[in-house]
Every structure is written in structure tokens, then in C-alpha cells.
Chain A
Amino acid sequence: MINSSLKQLAAQLAAKKISSRELTQSYLSRIETLNPDLNAFITVDAEKSLMQADAADKLLAAGLGGVLTGIPIAQKDIFCAQGWRTTCGSKMLGNFIAPYDANVIERFNVAGAVNLGKTNMDEFAMGSSNETSHFGKVKNPWDKLAVPGGSSGGSAAAVAARMAPAATGTDTGGSIRQPAALTGITGIKPTYGVVSRYGMIAFASSLDQGGPMAKSAEDCALLLNTMAGFDNRDSTSLDRPVEDYARDLAQPLNGLKIGLPKEYFAEGLAPDVAQTIEAAITEYKKLGAQVVEISLPNTQLSIPVYYVLAPAEASSNLARYDGVRYGYRAPEYKDLTDMYKKTRAQGFGAEVKRRILIGTYVLSAGYYDAYYLKAQKLRRLIAQDFTDAFKLCDVIMGPTTPTTAFNLGEKSDDPVSMYLSDIYTIAVNLAGLPGMSIPVGFGANGRPVGLQIIGNYFGEAKMLNVAHQYQLATDWHQRMPIL
């Protein structure tokens, strides 16, 4: 059962072969067994989850269930869920009980899904290894010496270890795709504006986008059907007709034009990852796709541009954590300024502070033009690269990450080397494009390799089709770590 697809689980629930309570309980038991070691969840609340499961069972009994009714889903601890502790991986929000639901949570609630618990993450989604979490590092289920990636590392590990049938993530510079790649699962970051950011704790508002993480593209399509949609409480949410993201899954790939950016296969890409990606491309050719070489000439600029813009927005977004109204407040202080300083010095971890400092610096008088404004201009150039490329191809493919999962602790003292691990994913956020990662094999060290698929704006259904057809022909997505 733990390897069942969402469709299979839904069928079992609908046929009353299993109740949502039983299903939820079985995942809670697996969490109880595996989580102490893997640390994928920050908060598990069996009572709350089972209450939701019971409500779902009533809906199912009345024949009112939808495709996700009764299915437990792990929620990244960045989504506010009413009554649930919502920490964003930070000591700053260690005691914060959300008094309202994020739009994404609301949508899952309406669908009758069960909140299985809140997953671990890099603090305020700032990190690529899940090591910056105040609640401890997460281990990669494939190799406990390895990181699961980040920032949605808890969600990725939970799905990879089959502690949850599916999970949510958020992606600001690769935070869904990179951990999906590193843990051998499937994840999609939609076009910016497709999933509401309301109630999703902000890191870098112009880049943040929520999305599903699951075992397969088909599961991701079903989840995205629930998560996506216009929300008038988010001004950047796009008011578009409702889509069925699963509508094109069955389409054959004959004549599909795959663009391979030469910059993604250049220096810095590990040979074992390169080989695995090439094998996947070969598989796509067998499925009828054609390959064209393309160029994204400004790829190298994406990391410096990102590390100006994202921290700039973050420095402002995180100003609200001041100890005045909620969250952590330093126990002792002598005046207001001292309270601010101590609260923020004690409440934030090193990576968050580093980014707040960078962001404050690049927005300061005298530096704004040279950094922030320049980066905004380059951001447009990076987006233009993709616009040009999509004149030549339907989707873009390449490695999600330059290497397989690195070891825990390996890069924690070298932020720049950590930042470089997001070289293939960051540009997609800067351009606002949809991107996904699917498992396509294993590297020399037995750790998973992810293939990144980048679509044009609103090309989610096409990407999911491209991913699904591959998953029909291969079984990488069904491989499970031995735990």
C-alpha cells in the first residue's frame, strides 16, 4: 500500500476497502517508526489528523468524496494551518500557532484531504540542504549520511521514505525541485502566480511559489488541481480559467521538441549525473521526442542576481519578526532597541541573518542602483533567454542539480558552494516559469538523480504529460529506499 498512487488510494477509499482513519493511522505509525531518525516532520498531531480523517470518512460514506478526500498529505511547515504550530523551521516561530489557514491548506481542507503533519524545512526556506532548520537536520532516506536537499527537505524525505503519500513544498530558487531530485521523487513548481501565496510564509515574494511533491507526475497533477487557482487575497495570483492539469497525461510524445541548454551540460556537472541525464534523454528519443541544442547565455548570472534580489525581499519580509506581537521574544532586554536586537539575534539562525544582512546592504542608500536595480535588469535578460529558447523547443531539459546529494555537513561552512548547487534551478524562478524534477536513476554513490523539465508559462499540463509518459516507460519513480 505504501507505494500506491493517489488514484489507487482514492479507489480503495471509495470502495471502502480501507477507511481514511486506517490509512492515516498507518502513515502516522510509519512516521512514528521512521521520523525519530529521519526528522522529516517538525509537528505531528495524530489527534488532529485523525479527526480530519473521520470527517473524510463521513464524506466518503455519503458518497461525497473527491479524488483527495481522506488522503493524508504532509504540509511543509511554511503553510499556516489553523490551530497547528507553524514554525517555518525557525526558533522565531517556535511557539507560533497559526490562527488562520493558508489558501493551499484551505483548498486541501475543502477537498477533504487530511493534514498529516508539518514537515521540516530550512529556516524560512533559506537553504539547499535542510541543515539550517532550527528543528534539526533531515536525513536523506536513500543514504542517511546525505542531505535531502532543501528547503523542502522534510517533505521530500517524507515522500521518499513513504511516510506520506504526498506532500507540499515551496520553491523560491529550487526548493521543490532540488530536494525532489536528491530524494528520487517528483515535484513541480508551477508558473509564478498559479498557486496562491496567501498564508505561505514569505521568503522572497517575487520568487516564492508553492507546489506538490509526490511519487509521480500523475499524483502531482491531481495535487496541483487542488492547489492551483485564483485567490483574491494574493494580488500576484493569476485570474485564469480553471485547468485540469491531468488532461494531457496520456498524450504521446511523438514530435516533442526537447531543448537541451548547452550551459547546463558544461563544467561543474558531475559525470555520473551527466550520464544518467543522457540516458533519460535517450529514453525520451525512444518515446518519439526530438532533441535540439539551445542556449541560455545568462545562466551564470542567475546565482548572483538571485542572491541580490531574494535577500533584498527577505530582509524586508522578515522585519515583522520583531518580538512585539507574536513569536519569539528575548527573555531579557533593557529597552526597545535592545529587545529588537536580542530577539532577532537569538531568534534567527546564521543563514537567515546572513541573507538579511545582504538584503539590507543591497537596498541601502548608495548601493541600491548598483545591486538591486542592476539585478532587476539582469533578471529580465535571464527571462528573455527562456523566451528565445522556447521559440525552438516545447520543453527544456537538463539536470536538476550538478551532483547527487552531498553529505550532511559537507557544505554547511561554505555558503557559496551551497548556493552553486542551485545553478540549474534558480533561473526558472527568476523568469517565473514552471519547472519540475523527476527521478531518472542513480549516481555512482547510489544516490538519486533528478531530471529537470522546464516548461513555458502555463505549460504545467504539457510538462506533466512529458514526465508521465517517461514514468509509464520506466520505474525509477517507484523505487523505494530500504529503511
Chain B
Amino acid sequence: MQWEVVIGLEVHAQLSTQSKIFSGAATAYGAAPNTQACAVDLALPGVLPVMNKGATERAIKFGLAVGAKINRTSVFARKNYFYPDLPKGYQISQFELPIVEGGSITIQVGDVEKTIRITRAHLEEDAGKSLHEDFHGMTGIDLNRASTPLLEIVSEPDLRGSAEAVAYAKTLHSLVQYLDICDGNMQEGSFRCDANVSVRPLGTDKLGTRCEIKNLNSFRFLERAVEYEVVRQIEIIEAGGKIAQETRLYDSDKDETRSMRSKEEAFDYRYFPDPDLLPMKISEAMIEEIQKTLPELPQAKRGRFMREFGLSSYDANVLTASKAMAAYFEQVVNQAGAANAKSAANWVMGDLAGALKRDNLEIAHSPVSADRLAGLVKRIADNTISSKIAKEVFEAMWQGEGDADAIIEAKGLKQITDTGAIEKIIDGIIAANPDQLAQYRSGKDKLFSFFIGQAMKATQGKANPQQLNDLLKQKLAG
């Protein structure tokens, strides 16, 4: 039987506010345990939550970016359960009336575009952290993360496989960074997702029983977890079994998902409106203000890159995947001219991306600035250097040896474009290799590359390839 995979994702994006969602404590990552937890975060008797306006604004910004409805009144609810790193014994979240409802984002898998519907996005606070190592059989509690603002973005079950799930997560990851509402740092847990996975016979409408896989904090884990889970579910059903609805955990060491708790063991969270926080009212004026701050979004940027710079859909997609890369690319084009956009795109996606990856650097920390790369692109365009020599110049720029012009000058890499000079060199080579010449003239065309190689060697690669090619052909023909 053919199976269809159905996935819905719940993404937790940590909002990039300076202070916590319900207290004034700082949200900065990496502080010593419990140094960024105030009385409110510790849930001392008598303390009360106060909503951080910055978190509300970021949620609205997201809602506007995905074309969702911004609820003018939304309600905070308490999600009650006991856990040592949940200081109040409840998490303040939104349940019946979230701040953002509906909307969608467009993802691209290969050459196919697909719209994924968003069910809702709601504000909530994070819990603290339980530390099980280094405490000699006891558990340490770090409440620095407690009450950190999160936007939980819930998709409809519109994703049909791990590739789409990853594409969706990546698109969302890029979007929240474009919007400057989340730093997107997955290692630090600023962006993580839960996947609801089920399978059904292809062509049927009824959803299969789903399993929720918790806390996937990398795209690779998301991909692996979904793939493992799909195989697991299909095997069970094909063997005549039934899928039990449950919450599962992905173990990246063993590359498998494991049951965490069954539906029967699921908590009754006893949600009810938090009486400490009045229903949150959002004014038209606030929405209008935020609307004005919306940057150009990835999809619009993609379209513009294709239109203005004549880039392919693929190139535009790669270059707009991150806001930083798109900005870098645009700066290169600004300096080098729109006519050189394709060359700029190739350099950004090729040598630059490769070098960044090799040295494990973010584009923001690239040793070669956009302006310097533009300088290089210009020298290729005006035939000062060949593309091949350009790679050498790029590497020198990467090593901090100056800008393209300085390096070309210092290393004498300027291309030889003087026809007379090239002819002279060719004449010398032909004279020195009479046997090869004879063989070539008797029909051994392959020897052409031998002469090219000799000429390049003689000019240290600096001869203009096209000129060299043309002149050599003429001379060899006799």
C-alpha cells in the first residue's frame, strides 16, 4: 500500500526581548544559574505577572507577516502541572483566545511552492531547566530561563513528509529572523519544534492517529525523527497493529523515537483564564504602528531578486534564505552593478558560502566584506583578472591581505590582454614543440589543451583565456 505522511509542527520561537515576558529579569543566555531569576520568576508568595509589551509587539509583527488575524482581545490562561523547574506550578500561556489566528507561509521544496496554513500563534512563558548531571543523584534547578517569552506557532497538518517539514521549519526560522523577533539560535534553544506525525493510506481523507515528537532542536533532528517515526508507524500498521496516540522523544544518539507518555498518562492541564492578567486588548493604532515596521519579507525579496537581477528561482531562494545573506548580496550588487548580479550571486553562494562553512563563520563575521567582494566581481567583469585567478584573489582577501586591487597589484595577477604579447608567447611555444604541432595538424585535436596548458604555464595563468584560445587556434591552423 502507498502511504501518505501527515505532519503538523508546533514551533517555539523565543522572542528577542531584553527582559522576561512577565518580569523585569534579563533574558540574556549563558549567565550563572539562577542569577537571572527575580522574585516573580521564583514564584515567591505574593508576586504577580506583568505582561512585557515588547513580546506582544513581536507576536503582532509575526501575525501581520503571515497574514493572520490579530485578535483585538486575547486571554492568558494557566496551564497547571507540577514540575520542579515550573516554579508557579502552572505555565502562563494562551489557550482559547490566542493573540494570532490563521495566516500562512509559502515554502519551496525543489522547484515546487506550497502554502502551509498556520492555525495559531500564542504567547507563553518558558519553564526553567532541570540539571541532572553533576548533582550526585540529585537534580539542580536553574530558573534563568523561567518566564522567557515564547511564541508558539502551530501549523495545520499540511506537511507531507520530512522534506516539507524541514522546509517549513527553515522558512519559519528565516522569517522570524527577518522580522527581528527571534535570534533563531537553535543551539541555545531559541527555536525548537514539536512534530505531530501520522500516516494514512494515500488517497484517503481521514487523519491517522498521531504521535507528538517533542523538542527537536535542529533541522537534522527534525528530519531524522520524522523519517524514523514514519517508518515505525507504517511498520506497525502493515503488521496489523494500531498506532497509540502518545508523546514521544527523539534520541539523536540512537536515531530513534521513544515513548514518553501515553494518551492515558497525558496531563489534565486544567486550563483557566489567569485572574492575575486581564484580557489583553490590542488597539488599531498599535497594529498600524507595527505594520509600519515590517521589513521586506523573504518571499517579496525573492520575487524582487528574480525581477531586478534576473536571478533564477533557485538562486533567489538560496540568497534570501537568511536576512544577513540577502543583505550581503544586495550590498555586493549595489557596489558591483546590477549587470554583474549573476556573477555576484555565484560568488556569494559559491566561494563565499564555502569558505564560511569551512571556517564555521556566520556571514556577519565574514573576513571578506560585501564591498571587497564587489571589488573582485568588478575586476572579473572588466577583464582585469580571469575567474580562475579571481579564486586566488578571493583566498588572499579571506586571509586578510587587502582588497582585490591591492592583491592583484602586489601579486602581479593582472590579466595579459595585449594581443601582441600573447602572440609572442604562442609563437615561442609552437617553435619549442614541433612534434606536437605536427601531430595536431595531422588531426590530433586533443593536443589543443596541451598548448593551452603550456601557454598558461608560461603566463602564470594570466593570459586572457578567450584571447589565448582564439589566437592559439589561428596560429596552430598555420
A contacts, CB < 8 Å to B: 79-80, 86, 88, 93, 96, 98-100, 102, 197-202, 204-206, 232-236, 312-313, 315-316, 318-320, 322, 324-326, 336, 340, 360, 363-365, 368, 372
Contacts and interface: CB of A to CB of B under 8 A. Distances in A.
B88 A199 contact: no
B102 interface: no
6 contacts: A233-B50, A320-B45, A320-B87, A325-B87, A364-B268, A365-B270
3 tightest CB-CB pairs across the interface, nearest first? A319-B89, A206-B275, A363-B270
A319 B88 contact: yes
Interface string B19-49: 0000000000000000000010011111111
A362 to B, nearest CB: 9
Nearest to A101: B46
B43 A236 contact: no
Interface in B68-86: 78, 80, 82, 84
B82 A364 contact: no
Contacts of A205: 275-276
A198 B82 CA distance: 24
Contacts of B271: 363
A363 B276 contact: no
B84 A201 contact: no
B39 A99 contact: yes
B42 A325 contact: yes
Contacts of A312: 272
A6 to B, nearest CB: 26
A228 B243 CA distance: 59
A365 B268 contact: yes
Interface string B123-143: 000000000000000010100
Nearest to A360: B270
A199 B84 contact: no
Nearest to B38: A100
Contacts of A372: 272
A477 to B, nearest CB: 31
B378 to A, nearest CB: 57
B90 interface: yes
B281 to A, nearest CB: 12
B430 interface: no
Contact of A319 (B46, B82, B277): B82
B421 interface: no
Nearest to A236: B278
Nearest to B90: A316
Contacts of A236: 275-276, 278
B276 A235 contact: yes
Given A316-B90, A363-B270, A235 B46 contact: no
Interface residues of B, number: 29
B381 interface: no
Contacts of B139: 336
Interface string B77-108: 01010101001111000000000000000000
A200 B46 contact: yes
B48 A86 contact: no
A324 B84 contact: yes
B51 interface: yes
A336 B272 contact: no
Nearest to B37: A325
A96 B46 CA distance: 12
Interface string B364-398: 00000000000000000000000000000000000
Contacts of A235: 48-51, 276-278
A293 to B, nearest CB: 34
A316 B89 CA distance: 7
Given A236-B278, A368-B272, A363 B80 contact: yes
Given A316-B78, A319-B80, A319-B88, A324 B141 contact: yes
Given A235-B50, A316-B89, A364-B270, A201 B278 contact: no
A139 B42 CA distance: 36
A465 B352 CA distance: 79
Given A236-B276, A324-B84, A325-B43, 13 more contacts: A98-B44, A98-B45, A100-B39, A200-B46, A234-B50, A235-B51, A235-B278, A236-B275, A312-B272, A325-B42, A325-B141, A363-B271, A368-B270
Contact of B82 (A79, A234, A340): A340
B48 A198 contact: yes
A235 B48 CA distance: 8
A319 B277 CA distance: 18
A206 B279 CA distance: 13
Contact of B275 (A200, A313, A319, A326): A313
A319 B46 CA distance: 13
A406 B88 CA distance: 37
